[in-house]
Amino acid sequence: MAAPAPRFADYDDLLAAPDHLVAELVAGELYTSPRPAPKHSVASTSLSEALGPPFRRGQGGPGGWLILFEPELHLGPNVLVPDLAGWRTERMPAVPDTPAIDLAPDWLAEVLSPSTRRLDRMVKLPVYAQAGVRHLWLVDPEAQTVEVYRLQEDGYLLLGVHGEREVAAMEPFEAVPIELCWLWGERPDDEPAKEP
């Protein structure tokens, strides 16, 4: 007797996931993760605060971007929820009046946590590449680093790793450098942590 064909998860499975979990669907498999811990939330919020005024509103920067916090992306059969995603306004001039977005972003950021690190790196990155997401950042609050990637023909190219208290100009937002200490819950005038 033949084994039954494997059942692939679908959108109904995603909707049935408990509300206290972030649910994503990749290649027919349902992934659930706990809601972000405070360090994760600080990094996401601080990054959004740094990018919003100059790139979304054009205050002290070039504008021209629509940046959203945790949008539900429908990229082919995959349903993903990055921490932040951005579209150039010439591609998406306004937020669509839909529950989800099926236009791949021009940039996105995933904030890594112990429960999502493998999912973000090993499962979601290839989907983002296939969908044509041109720029991608991996933000690690524990290591205090931001890895900056650009999509090439054969996948993502690591352009650089920035971290700790650096003021970094990072593609595609290099017009306005970001004080990374804010992402780690610190202030520029705080004393750096001393080695024991």
Residue 46 lies in a domain: yes
Residue 95 lies in a domain: yes
Residue 27 lies in a domain: no
Residue 155 lies in a domain: yes
How many other C-beta atoms can be found within 10 angstroms of the C-beta atom of residue 54?
Answer: 18
Residue 7 lies in a domain: no
Tell me whether strands 135-140 and 107-111 are parallel, antiparallel or unpaired.
Answer: parallel
Task: State pLDDT tens for residues 135-185.
Answer: 999 999 999 999 999 999 999 999 999 999 999 999 999 999 999 999 999
CA-to-CA distance for 154 and 128, rounded, in angstroms? 13
Three-state DSSP class for residue 62: coil
Locus of tokens 């529950």: 99
Find out whether the peptide bond into 77 is cis, omega within 30 degrees of 0: no
pLDDT of 192 > 70? The answer is no
Helix, strand, coil percentages, rounded to 5, for the chain = 25, 30, 45
Compute the average pLDDT of residues 109-125.
93
Residue 194 lies in a domain: no
Residue 2: the pLDDT is: 57
Predicted confidence band of residue 194 (pLDDT cuts 50, 70, 90): low
How many other C-beta atoms can be found within 10 angstroms of the C-beta atom of residue 14?
Answer: 16
Compute the average pLDDT of residues 104-127.
95
Q: Which residue range forms the structural domain that includes residue 59?
A: 36-184
Q: Is residue 87 within 8 Å of 64, Cβ to Cβ? A: no
Cβ-proximal residues to 17 (8 Å cutoff; 6+ apart), any chain: 23, 30, 32
pLDDT of 196 > 60? The answer is no
Q: Which residue has the higher pLDDT, 10 or 90?
A: 90
Predicted confidence band of residue 188 (pLDDT cuts 50, 70, 90): confident
Number of domains, the chain: 1
Q: Which residue has the higher pLDDT, 109 or 116?
A: 109
pLDDT of 4 > 70? The answer is no
Residue 117: the pLDDT is: 92
Distances (CA, A) of 99 to 18, 71, 95: 18, 9, 11
Residues in the chain: 196
Task: State pLDDT tens for residues 12-67.
Answer: 988 999 988 899 999 889 999 988 889 999 999 999 999 999 999 999 999 999 99
Compute the average pLDDT of residues 71-86.
97
CA-to-CA distance for 122 and 97, rounded, in angstroms? 31
Distances (CA, A) of 116 to 10, 21, 62, 180, 183: 20, 12, 33, 21, 18
Task: State pLDDT tens for residues 122-145.
Answer: 999 999 999 999 999 999 999 999
The CATH number assigned to the domain holding 166 equals 3.90.1570.10
